[in-house]
Chain A
Amino acid sequence: MAELSPIIEVKNVSKFFRLPHERISSVKSHVLGLFRRQSFETQKALQDVSFEIKPGEFFGIVGRNGSGKSTLLKMLAGIYMPTRGEIVINGRLTPFIELGVGFSPELTGRENVFLNGALLGFTRKEMDALYEDIVAFAELERFMDQKLKNYSSGMQVRLAFSIAIRARSDILLIDEVLAVGDLDFQKKCYSYFFDLKKRGQTVVLVSHDMSAIRKFCTKAALIHNSKVRKIGTPGEIADLYEDLNLKVAEQRIEIQNKDQKEVVKKRDGTGKATIESVETYDPKTGKARDSFTAKESIGVRMVCAAHDEIQKPALGFIFQDQADITVFATNTVDRKVTTRRVKKGERIVLEAVVDNVFTDGEYTITAAIEGEGFIEVYDRIKYLHTFIIGGHSLAHAKVHPGHELEISYQ
C-alpha cells in the first residue's frame, strides 16, 4: 500500500509572543512610548516544531502545563498565526478547541444550541434537523427553554458535548474534555472516542490523562519546553511523560527536603540519641534519590548518633501519604532485629528495603529512635523526608501488591 500523504503538516513552526513589560493599552502610553524605548520580553512559546499527521491517525499531544501544547493546538485550529514556519492542512478541520464556545448564560438552552451550531458551521436547516438528537443525547429535554445560567455545570458540558460531536470535518481537535464532567459523562466521551477510532476519523487529542492517550491514540508527541521532545507510540510517550513528571516533582521534593532539614518542625525526645538524617535511596545502586517508579523498591537509610551510652535502642519509621494516613510502619523490635549497647559518640545506621506496593503520590517519613522496650523516646521527628512514587497505570487503586492472575476454562 502506498504511503498516505499527510493531512496535517507542521513545518518548522515557531511561535513567539511579545510581552511588553508594561502593556501599552492606552494612547497616552503609546505616545509616550514613542519617545521611550519600549521594553518587552519575547516569550518563545514554541520553537521549530515539525511533525506530520496522516489520515486516520488518532494523534495525542502531551506536555506539562506551559509547555506550549495549547499554543500548538490554537495554531492548528487557525486561531494563532505561526511566527515562523508553516502549517499545511489538507482538509476541513474543526475550528474550535473548547466545548461550549459562545455559550451565553442569558440565553435559553435552545438558543444556545443554535448559536453554537452556527459557530461550528451548521446552517439553520441542518440545525433544525439535528436539534432533537442533540437534546436527546444530552438528556436535557425538559430544560431547553430555561436559561443556561440555571443549568448545572455538568448539564452545560453535556449540552456542549452533544453539539460538538455533530461537527463533521476531516480532522477533529479535542482539548482536555475528559477533565470535566462526572463518571457517566466520561464514559460517554470514551465511547465516542472508540467510535471515532473505529470510523478511522483523524483526531488530534491534547490531554494530561495518560490512560486516555494509551487507550485511544495511535501515535503521540511529547512537547517539552517549547520543543517536540519525542514522537512515538502512545506507550513510549506516556512513559516518557510520566518520567518527566516524576523528575520535575523530584526537583521540587529535593528543595522541600533541604528546607525541612534546616527547620525541623515537630521534634521531641530526651536527646540521649538524635536522628542525624533520613534519606531514601535506590537499593540497586545505593545512591540517594527521592522518586521511585512502580517497579522499583524503596530504600530507606536512617542515621542516628548516641550522645550518651544507651542500651539496645529501637529504631523505626513510618510512611504517611498526603492525607496523613499511615500506609506503612516498621521498627527493629517488631522485625526482631536486635541492637546492642551503643557507646557515646557512636553512630547507628538502619537500612531498609521496602517493596513498592504504594500507589502514585507523595509520601513523608516520620522516624524515631527509642530506648529498650519503648520506655523512653530519645528522638522523634515528624515529616522528616518526602519522596514520590509515580508511573502506575492503575493509579486510582490505593495499593499495588504483587499478584498473579490465572484463567482457566471449564
Chain B
Amino acid sequence: MSFKITLSKITSKQNRALLRELVSTDFKLRYQGSVIGYAWSLLRPLMLFAILYVVFVQFLRLGRDISHFPIYLLLGIVLWSFFSEMTNQSLTSIVARGDLIRKIRIPRWIIVLSSSVAALINLGLNLVVVAVFMVIDGVNVPAAAPWFLLILLEIYVFALGMSFYLAAAFVKFRDLSHIWEVVLQGMFYVTPILYPLSLVTNETAQKIILLNPMAQAIQDARNVLVSSDTLTITEVFHSPLAWMIPAIICVGMFVFGLLYFKRESKYFAENL
C-alpha cells in the first residue's frame, strides 16, 4: 500500500476514467442553475480585462511604449487568473472531497489533479479568446511563439506544486484559505501584470520581481507571443542563463509540494 506516483499509475485506465469523471462532475456542479453557465468562466477574465483596460490604458495611459499593450495586458491577466484559480480550487479540493477520502481508497492526488485539469480547460478557452484578439489587433506573432508551450508548462508545474502543498496543508490549518487570499492579492501587485515592468526604475527591484516564476513566465510569454518590447529576465540580468533561477524555484516548489502531499496524504482520512 505504498504511495508512489509513477507514470504508469497516472495513466492507468482506471485513474484516467476517474479523473475524467471527477473533472466533469466538477464542471456540472459548478455551473448548476446558472443561466449562461459555462460562459462565466470566459466572461470573468474578459470583464476584468475591460475594467483594467479602461482604468490603466485609457485613464492612466500606461504602456504607451509597448506595442499591442491591450493584448499584452489581457495575456497577463489570463495567465495570472489561471494560477490564482488553480491554486484556490486545489486548496479546498481535499477538504471538499472529504466524504470520498473517508470512505473509499482512491489515489488522493487525483483529486488535486482534477481541480488542476478544470483550471487548465478554462485556460485553454481563455487563450482562444486571446488568440482572437491578437488577430483583431493585427499582432505579428514572433517566430519564438512555440516557446509559449514550455512557458505554460512552467506555470503549470509551479501551480501544481503549490496546489499539492496548499491542498494538504489546508486539511490541518483551516486559516490557510484566508492567508492564501492575501498572498495572492499581494503577488498580483508585485507581478508586473497591470503595469509594464519598465515602470519599476530600480534595477534591483526589477531583478527581485523577476525571480518570482510567475513574473518571469508572464513576461516571457508576452515576449514570445505579443510584443518584443517586453522586458524579460535575460535582459534584466544581462545573462541568457538567468531563467534558470525561477525554473529551479519552480521545480523546487513542485518537488516540495509533492513530497509534503505524499507524507500528509496518509493521514487525510483521520484528520478531515
Chain A residues positioned under 8 Å from B245 (CB to CB): none
Within 8 A of B (CB), among A352-399: none
A27 touching B179 in the complex, CB below 8 Å, given contacts A74-B269, A107-B29: yes
Tell me if A81 and B267 are in contact (CB < 8 A). Answer: yes
Instruction: Contact check, A79 vs B14: say whether CB atoms are below 8 A apart.
Output: no
Asked if residues A26 and B174 are in contact (CB atoms below 8 Å), the reply is yes
Are B179 and A101 in touch, CB under 8 angstroms?
Answer: no
Once the chains bind, are B29 and A118 in contact (CB under 8 Å)? no
Contacts A27-B175, A79-B269, A118-B20; A104 near B105 (Cβ below 8 A): no
Most buried by B among A80, A97, A119, A124: A119
Q: What is the 8 Å Cβ interface bit string for chain B, positions 90-105, against chain A (1 contact, 0 not)?
A: 0000000001111111
Say yes or no: A118-B174 contact (C-beta < 8 A), given A95-B105, A97-B103, A101-B103: no
Bitwise, A112-134 to B at CB < 8 A (1) or not (0) is 00110111011110010000000
Is A248 among interface residues, defined by CB-CB distance under 8 A?
Answer: no
Known: A79-B269, A124-B17. A107 touches B28 (CB 8 A): yes
Minimal beta-carbon separation of A125 from chain B (angstroms): 9
Of the residues A28, A102, A106, A127, contact of B104 by C-beta under 8 Å: A102
Which applies to chain B's interface (DSSP): helix, strand, loop or mixed? helix
State whether the Cβ of A111 lies closer than 8 Å to any Cβ in chain B: yes
Q: With a CB–CB cut-off of 8 A, which chain A residues contact B173?
A: 25-27, 30
Let me know if A81 and B104 touch, CB within 8 A.
Answer: no
**Docked pose: A30 CA to B173 CA in angstroms:** 8
Does A104 lie within 8 Å of B17, measured CB to CB? Answer: no
Q: Which of A28, A77, A107 contacts B105 (CB 8 A)?
A: A77
Of B14, B172, B175, which one neighbours A123 at CB under 8 angstroms?
B14
- Which residues of chain B are near A97, meaning CB under 8 Å? 103-104
Query: What chain A residues lie within 8 Å of B105 (beta carbons)?
Result: 77-79, 95-96
Q: A111-B25, A124-B20 are in contact. Are A78 and B1 (CB under 8 A)?
A: yes
**CA A217 – CA B18 in complex, angstroms?**
33
| Residue total for B at the interface (Cβ-Cβ under 8 A) | 31
A130 CB, nearest partner CB in chain B, Å: 13
> B29 and A104: CB pair below 8 A?
yes
**Which chain A residue shows the least CB distance to B13?**
A123
B55 within 8 A of A: no
Known: A26-B173, A118-B17, A119-B18. A80 touches B270 (CB 8 A): yes
Chain B: minimal CB distance from A11 (Å): 14
A90 vs B139: C-alpha distance when bound (angstroms)? 61
Contact pattern, B 230-268, Cβ under 8 Å of A = 1, otherwise 0? 000000000000000000000000000000000000110
Residue numbers in B under 8 Å from A118 (CB-CB): 14, 17-18, 20-22
Task: Check B17–A95 contact: CB distance below 8 A.
Answer: no
In the assembled complex, how far is the CB of residue B14 from the closest CB belonging to chain A, in whole angstroms? 5
Q: B159 CB to closest chain A CB, in angstroms?
A: 22
Please, what's the 1-or-0 string for A8-32, where 1 marks a CB less than 8 Å from any CB in chain B? 0000000001000000111110100
Cβ of B21: which chain A residues have Cβ within 8 Å of it?
114-115, 117-119
| Chain A positions within 8 Å of B179 at CB level | 27
Q: Does B32 interact with chain A (Cβ within 8 Å)? A: yes
- Tell yes or no: B184 within 8 A of A by CB: no
Q: Which residues of B contact A101 (CB under 8 A)?
A: 99-100, 103-104
Answer whether residue B130 sits at the interface, using C-beta atoms and an 8 A cutoff. no
Cβ A122 vs Cβ B17 within 8 A: yes
CA A380 – CA B21 in complex, angstroms? 69
Cross-chain contact of A115 among B25, B99, B176 (Cβ < 8 A) = B25
Q: Does A195 contact B (CB under 8 A)?
A: no
Rounded to whole angstroms, the CA-CA distance of A126 and B174 in the bound complex is 39
For residue B121, CB closer than 8 A to chain A, the reply is no
Q: Closest residue to A121 on the B side, CB-wise? A: B14
Does B106 touch A at the CB level, under 8 Å? yes
- Name the contact of A26 in the complex, choosing from B1, B29, B175, B267 (C-beta under 8 A): B175
Kindly report which residue of chain B lies nearest to residue A27, judged by CB atoms.
B175
| Chain B contacts for A17, CB-based, 8 A | 270
Q: Which residues of A contact B103 (CB under 8 A)?
A: 79, 96-98, 101
Contact of B32 with A119 in the complex, beta carbons under 8 Å: no
Q: Interface code B25-43, partner A: CB below 8 Å = 1, 0 otherwise?
A: 1001100100000000000
B100 close to A102 (CB less than 8 A): yes
A122 proximity list for chain B (CB < 8 A): 14, 17
B25 touches A107 (CB 8 A): yes
Q: How far apart are A14's CB and chain B's nearest CB, in angstroms?
A: 14
Question: Which of B14, B32, B99 meets A102, CB within 8 Å?
Answer: B99
Which parts of B159-208 form the interface with A (CB within 8 Å)?
172-176, 179
Q: Are A119 and B100 in contact, with the CB atoms below 8 A?
A: yes
B88 to chain A, nearest CB (A): 18
Instruction: Tell me the nearest residue of chain A to B29, going by C-beta.
Output: A106
CB distance from B18 to the nearest CB of A (A): 5
Report A-chain residues with C-beta under 8 Å of the C-beta of B101. Answer: 79
Find out whether the CB atom of A96 lies under 8 angstroms from the CB atom of B172. Answer: no
Within 8 A of A (CB), among B130-180: 172-176, 179
Tell me whether A81 and B100 are in contact (CB under 8 A).
no
Question: Which residues from chain A contact B172 at a C-beta distance below 8 Å?
Answer: 24-25
Q: Name the distance in Å between A334's Cβ and chain B's nearest Cβ.
A: 59
B223 CB to closest chain A CB, in angstroms? Answer: 38
Q: Is the CB of A119 within 8 A of B104?
A: yes
Q: Are A95 and B106 in contact (CB under 8 A)?
A: yes
- Residues of chain A lying within 8 A (CB to CB) of residue B29: 104, 106-107
Shortest Cβ gap from B180 to chain A (Å): 11
Closest chain B residue, CB of each to CB of A76: B105
Q: Which residue on A lies nearest to B269, using beta carbons?
A: A79
Beyond the given pairs A77-B105, A106-B32, A117-B21, 8 more chain A to chain B contacts, judged by CB atoms under 8 angstroms and listed by A's residue number, are: A24-B172, A78-B1, A81-B267, A95-B104, A96-B104, A96-B105, A107-B29, A114-B21
Offer 13 A-B interface pairs, CB within 8 angstroms, sorted by A: A26-B174, A27-B173, A27-B176, A79-B103, A79-B269, A96-B104, A96-B105, A102-B104, A115-B21, A117-B21, A118-B22, A119-B100, A123-B13
- Per CB-CB distance, the 8 closest pairs between chain A and chain B, nearest first, are A118-B21, A95-B105, A78-B105, A26-B175, A96-B104, A123-B17, A27-B175, A118-B18
Q: What is B's interface to A at a CB cutoff of 8 Å? A: 1, 13-14, 16-18, 20-22, 25, 28-29, 32, 99-106, 172-176, 179, 266-267, 269-270
